[in-house]
Amino acid sequence: MSESDPQNGTDSSLMFDPALHDRALAGWGIRRRRGDLAQEEKNSEENILLNSPEDSTLKGASTAGCAPPEGNPPVDVLENLDLDSMARLVASCERCGLCQHRQNTVFGTGNPSARLMFVGDSPGEEEDLQGLPFVGRSGQLLDRILSQGLKLTRDSVYIANVLKCRPPESRDPLPEEVLSCGSYLDAQIERVNPEMIVALGKPAAQFLTGEATSLKRLRERKHVYKGVPVVVTHHPAFLLQQPQAKAECWQDLQVVIETLGLK
Ligand code: URA
């Protein structure tokens, strides 16, 4: 994320799939099988035909279906890959322009069978250099949240981002970048199959909830991504800028502690 992101505004929409909004079931713990979603996915494929590329502006962009551009691996290729193979595919990805400036792709790290998954927006400078998510200052704070707050190690959870390449100047992801890259995160979530996901900051929260609204509003409610409960909280970079918001983050994480029995 851009470190100056105020987090609570209602600006850019990073809508991944409006149908996800409908899938955010009232209440958690309802795990729907992929097959149950077949018709909804078919519908969203039909939607994408109705959306011209010109519609893909920062505000209110519809990224229904998240289809990759021509000439790139089709989304269903990912269905047959394990995480390691997927990471190798991502390492040579050229779905969007971010590939031109990266040092490394940043696929994800941690326990491939983790009960808990954290999702940020995109790699920063240090992550780009090391090829690992959350290893810069934000990552150090995330490590403290894990160890001191949740009594978990980094290796016991799975950590990934919406984008696998660093945006220039670490700006927020653009809708077209999310469109190109989002299917990787979707496949990662399916493979890890966590019991709960923590969305760190607005871009990740908007992607996972399919709602183009403020982080404040998204934090207030329960969400579900394809059957997996999603907790929305502040991005660690925001917490570094606004340490007083750590109390809210701690409040958000209580439901993780309770649901996963981490007490
Ligand atoms: N911010 C993110 O969203 N992800 C990282 O990996 C690092 C910083």
pLDDT-derived band at 114 (thresholds 50, 70, 90) equals very high
pLDDT at 52: 26
Q: What is the DSSP track for the chain?
A: --TT--SS-------S-HHHHHHS-SSS-----GGGGHHHHHHHHHHHHHS-GGG--STT---TT-PPPTTS--HHHHTT--HHHHHHHHHT--SSGGGGT-SS---EEE-TT-SEEEEES---HHHHHHT-SS-SHHHHHHHHIIIIII---GGGSEEEES-SSPPGGGPPPPHHHHHHHHHHHHHHHHHH--SEEEEESHHHHHHHH---S-HHHHHHS-EEETTEEEEEE--HHHHHH-GGGHHHHHHHHHHHHHHHT--
User: Mean pLDDT score of the chain, rounded to an integer?
Assistant: 80
Closest to 142 in 3D by CA, of 124, 129, 163: 124
Tens-digit pLDDT profile for residues 146-162:
999 999 999 999 999 99
pLDDT-derived band at 2 (thresholds 50, 70, 90) equals very low
Higher pLDDT among residues 215 and 1, named by residue: 215
Tens-digit pLDDT profile for residues 42-80:
333 333 222 222 222 223 332 223 334 444 455 678 988
**Does the pLDDT value for residue 234 go beyond 60?**
yes
Domain 18-260 has CATH 3.40.470.10: yes
pLDDT at 8: 45
pLDDT at 35: 39
Pocket residues: Cβ below 6 A from ligand 1: 1, 120-124, 127, 133-134, 136, 138-139, 161, 237
Of all atoms in ligand 1, which is nearest to the CA of residue 162?
Answer: 3
90, 127, 233: residue to mutate for ligand 1 pocket, most atoms within 8 A of CB: 127
pLDDT at 59: 31
pLDDT at 75: 62
Mean pLDDT for the stretch of residues 26-33: 37
pLDDT-derived band at 113 (thresholds 50, 70, 90) equals very high
Give burial (CB, 10 Å; 0-12/13-18/19+) of 105.
Answer: buried
Tens-digit pLDDT profile for residues 177-224:
999 999 999 999 999 999 999 999 999 999 999 999 999 999 999 999
CA distance 175 to 58: 6
Task: Indicate which residue's Cα is closest to atom 7 of ligand 1.
Answer: 134
Query: How much of the chain exceeds pLDDT 70, in percent?
Result: 71
Beta bridge partner(s), residue 228: 225
Ligand 1 centre distance from Cα of residue 82 (Å): 23
Tell me the domain boundaries of the chain. 18-260
